[in-house]
Amino acid sequence: MKNMRGRTRVLALGTATAIAVVAALAGCSGGSEAAGPNSSRPEGEIHVLVLADAAASAEQAAADRFNKTSDVKVVIDQGATAGSEYQAAVRNSAGSASAPDIFMSWGAANIQPLLDAGALMPLDDFIADDPELQSAFLPSVFDEEVVDGSTYGIPMRGVAPTFLFYNKSVLEAAGLEPAATWDDLLAQVAPLSAQGVTPLGLAGADKWPTQMWYQYLFARELGNEQVAKGLAGDADVWASDGSKAALAKIRELVDAGGFGQNFDSVTYGTDGSAALLRTGKSAYELMGTWHFATLEAGDADFVQNDLGWTAFPSVDGSGEAGEIAGNLSNYYNVAADTRYPDTVRGFLKELYSDDFLNDELTLGNLPPTENAADLIAADSDLGAVNKNYLSFVVGLVADAPTFQLSWDQAVPAESQTPVQNAMADFFNGTIDADAWISAMQDATAR
């Protein structure tokens, strides 16, 4: 018993110490608002935090070019490889002297908490000095990080809309043409299934591929403008007739066996759905631009000879023809308290320089710029199939009246999982349309 009391005392002592430390931490973290140049930042350099993947090489090359003529040097810091870790690092350091001057983000919802904290510099003055910072980019992509009339991010890295990929041989063997309308697509389910093929490959285990189907059906039935309202918290959008019509179409396609019986066990990361398409076990797959590289890594011959791509089929609804959805781009943001705003502005110009854009193209990223089509045509390193492909994507984006950011990225972080779950649960029949509607209303309520 005596022993026991001793242990309790030690525990109490430890707890007291811990609480004292916490109190001290809480006391000194009462942060001040970051604004204006911070002179405790490193002298003579600005820091760019980049995601440490293959594309970081293009950013390093841009910095090297810039540093040749600049007194204040650009230092590229390679951060995390995973987006979530990268964002945690940005959030944690925001406002401190060791925070990066330039860092990347994923869209308006993604930067909103940093905006609320006053950590981002509005880039309107930069654009006034150098209009090309805006005019060089496709408006549908550029506008994403314009919040309340002020621009906070400049597009960088590739644009990645989603569209239908298909296996030419599989469609040929079934005597079919790529579906141009929703009714075509629905009518092709039976003949493709009869051939022992999964009509539409889907990596349902990951949920975000499932979400792509909603994004297009809602774009076609309601139009992206309505969708954006819904994602911003307009509950009526989700309960509207157009929404119900889109859900009914999804239900019909799933129930007809369009996705086979076990799509929720198929993953994207372990080459589940890509292998289906590549090996002729599925006919179509709705996926983002990067799918080309994924398929190429698995079987380059297939991509050269048998891979087809087409815009999402038309649907009789209120949406305009050609509205698209997917990942717009990443954006460079600037810390509100950067010590050298002029250097930052100078470096951002690199983002629309031909050198940087060509580097991005070589990496397989399609630049979100007005001149992307010309760059592709002029690029002698690209093969014919790659050129065709990239030109198709450029055309898709350029002709799109609207471009809706992926839903789970357009909502605040706390709604990301609920939105993804709603997508998967309605698809596999766990919840019905009414439950889906109220799930989306809850997830988007502000």
Site string for other proteins, 114-143 (x = CB under 8 A): x-xxxx------------------------
Binders of other proteins among residues 278 to 307 (CB under 8 A) are: 281
Out of 62, 222, 247, 266, point to the residue binding other proteins (CB under 8 A): 266
SS3 per-residue string spanning 258-302 = CCCCCHHHCCCCCCHHHHHHHCCCEEEEEEECCHHHHHHHHCHHH
Distance CA 361, CA 158 (A): 8
Per CB under 8 A, 377 contacts other proteins? no
Distance CA 230, CA 2 (A): 64
Per CB under 8 A, 40 contacts other proteins? no
Per CB under 8 A, 434 contacts other proteins? no
Q: How many of the other CB atoms lie within 10 Å of CB of 321?
A: 11
Per CB under 8 A, 398 contacts other proteins? no
What's 400's DSSP letter? Answer: -
Per CB under 8 A, 261 contacts other proteins? yes
Q: Give the gyration radius of the chain's Cα atoms.
A: 25
CB 159 within 8 A of CB 395: no
Distance in Å, CB of 204 to other proteins, minimum: 7
Distance in Å, CB of 100 to other proteins, minimum: 14
Per CB under 8 A, 411 contacts other proteins? no
Distance in Å, CB of 334 to other proteins, minimum: 15
Per CB under 8 A, 14 contacts other proteins? yes
C-beta of 159 vs 202, nearer to other proteins: 202
Per CB under 8 A, 416 contacts other proteins? yes
Distance CA 334, CA 341 (A): 9
Per CB under 8 A, 433 contacts other proteins? no
Binders of other proteins among residues 181 to 240 (CB under 8 A) are: 198, 204-207
Out of 8, 22, 355, 377, point to the residue binding other proteins (CB under 8 A): 22
Compute how many residues bind other proteins; rule: CB under 8 A.
61
Query: Which residue in the block uniquely carries the two structure tokens 């007739």?
Result: 241
Per CB under 8 A, 413 contacts other proteins? yes
Per CB under 8 A, 394 contacts other proteins? no
Per CB under 8 A, 270 contacts other proteins? yes
List C-alpha distances in Å: 396 to 360, 400, 429: 19, 6, 32
The token pair at 343 is 């250097």
Distance in Å, CB of 337 to other proteins, minimum: 10
Burial of 14 (0-12, 13-18, 19+ CB in 10 A): exposed
Burial of 122 (0-12, 13-18, 19+ CB in 10 A): middle
CA nearest to 366, candidates 428, 290, 306, 436:
290
The token pair at 18 is 């811990």
C-beta of 336 vs 372, nearer to other proteins: 336
The token pair at 153 is 């991010």
Distance CA 234, CA 80 (A): 36
Binding window for other proteins (CB under 8 A); candidates: 167-175, 229-237, 273-281, 372-380: 273-281
Contacts of 207 (CB under 8 A, 6+ apart): 420, 421, 423, 424
- Contact footprint for other proteins (CB under 8 A): 6, 10-11, 13-15, 17-19, 21-22, 25-26, 29-31, 33-34, 84, 88, 91-96, 113-114, 116-119, 198, 204-207, 261-267, 269-272, 275-276, 281, 413-417, 421, 424-425, 428, 430
